[in-house]
Amino acid sequence: MTIQFHTSPYPAETTIWPVLKGQPLPDVAAPAQADFKADLAETCLLYGPDGRKHLLLGLGEKPGQQDLLKAFRKAFYTYKAKLNSQVSLSLSGFDATQAEAIMLGIYGGGYNLKLYQTTQPETALFYTDTGVLHLQHTESEQFTLQQATLQARIIWDAQRDMLDLMNAPSNYKTPQTLADWAVASGRQHDYGVTILDHDELARQGYNALLSVGQGSENPPLLIICDYNPADRTGPTVGLVGKGVTFDTGGVSIKPSANMHLMKSDMGGAAAVLGTVEVAARLKLPLRVVGIVPATENVVDGMATKPGDVITSYLGKTIEIIDTDAEGRVILADGLGHMVRHIQPDVMIDLATLTGNVIAALGYQAGGLFTANDDLAAQLLAAGTQTGERLWQLPLWDAYKDDITSDVADVKNYSGKPINGAIAAAKFLEAFTDNHPAWAHLDIAGMAFADTEFGQQKNATAFGIRLLIDYLKLVGAREI
């Protein structure tokens, strides 16, 4: 699909008509006047006397970025087989962020979840090389719209790759798969990538990461991506993402009913890898370092056992109470590398960490934990702007008892059926070296969700848009 820009209406074979609730319908929609209410994501396909198609798309009353993205994605996904190769859409009146969200929805409508089916569906004409999207606008809007569509394409390229990685089963996705993607991306988009393999991890003492991966024949890795532009003016932002490519729970094994979804337990890694690539392609004026501790958490005779005590990269000892609380254990070494070697101005970790955060917030927001009010405000604002919402939960020292161990510096699980997301955040805090601008994002309820792409939960690439919006905000600041 290519894009052409027009300052006057283009008579394509198919025209999309976005309609706000209460707004008059276009003349071609007269037959639908009585039935079409323009509710969010409501659609109505009409045929003109000349055979051209007109798709009415309701936007509701006051759609946000995520509303626009989802409405357009669902409409284009649902009707893609009926779209002609030439599609016309007016984006006049939409600002840059709205146009970007709309374009992300249009790109997303062509996503194919059927990654491993032997019989692939025929690609809709509009999403082939012959497809053309004709965007209408005023002359004064053209530059802004061109920039918005370019940025949407860059973000979508990263999102699509992360969707494919997250949706891939574990026999097609190992820690090495994530490393290979990072290396290829770094070469293509000119940022540094370093991979610490098993032997190097052992030599340097990344024992927390090694302990989680020691039950797997696929060795753990530490992936370090470093986008550091020569002309940077902004701060250094460190991102750490949980990269468990499959999680059985280890010896503390999970119930079987939903274990197949644990191929998604690298949602934090996906957000970090995608964000570094987008930052590099957008040439943001700040340094962004992404660290992904990548491993499988499976069971064999070598697997870590409940009650074991391990020594992390920073030297703190960890009593393993529950081997299914493995994400925080590998993040301990990821954070440790960040504070020891990078020393960023801001440090943010992301992880599909706890079911408890879903119990608290459902599937509408990720959990935000930080003691830095400015950082909290910036991340909450980015979440509100993009629709990738966050909600702040407490990080009080009153919760420290949940990670107090009798035999080690900390334990990885409280054993209580309450405040599990907070206890996990307190555990991670112990490995930040008291960093003054650290935030933890628990995205367990947001990285995998029900979508139009499939019948069971699948990947969302949550976090990339949120982090890019945040980086653009702080990237304008002097160090």
Q: Any known ligand binding at 247?
A: yes
- Nearest Cα neighbor of 448 from 205, 221, 268, 241 is 268
Catalytic residue among 21, 80, 153, 254: 254
Q: Which helix (H) or strand (E) segment is 186 a member of?
A: helix 175-189
Measured in degrees and rounded to the nearest 5, phi and psi for residue 57 equal -130, 115
Chain mean position to CA 138: 33
DSSP symbols for 324-358: T--HHHHHHHHHHHIIIII--SEEEEEE---HHHH
Strand 192-196 to strand 221-227: parallel, antiparallel, or no bridges (unpaired)? antiparallel
- Three-state secondary-structure class, residue 197: coil
- Nearest Cα neighbor of 295 from 262, 257, 260, 320 is 262
**DSSP bridge partners of 449:** 458
- Three-state secondary-structure class, residue 439: strand
Sheet of 317-319, strand order: 309-311, 317-319, 410-411
The CA-based angle 192-225-431, given to 5 degrees, is 140
Measured in degrees and rounded to the nearest 5, phi and psi for residue 215 equal -90, 0
- Report the alpha-carbon distance of residue 433 to residue 291 in Å, rounded: 17
Question: For residue 351, how many other CB atoms are within 10 A of its CB?
Answer: 31
Q: Any known ligand binding at 199?
A: no
- Report the alpha-carbon distance of residue 197 to residue 180 in Å, rounded: 12
Beta strand segments in 166-319, E: 192-196, 221-227, 236-241, 243-247, 287-297, 309-311, 317-319
The CA-based angle 295-301-302, given to 5 degrees, is 45
| Active site (annotated) includes residue 340 | no
Q: Which helix (H) or strand (E) segment is 151 a member of?
A: helix 142-167
Q: Any known ligand binding at 265?
A: yes
| Active site (annotated) includes residue 328 | yes
Q: Any known ligand binding at 242?
A: yes
For CA atoms 207, 212, 216, 222, give the dihedral sign. Answer: negative
Catalytic residue among 173, 287, 328, 389: 328
Q: Which residues are catalytic?
A: 254, 328
Annotated binding site for Mn(2+): 242, 247, 265, 324, 326
Annotated binding site: 242, 247, 265, 324, 326
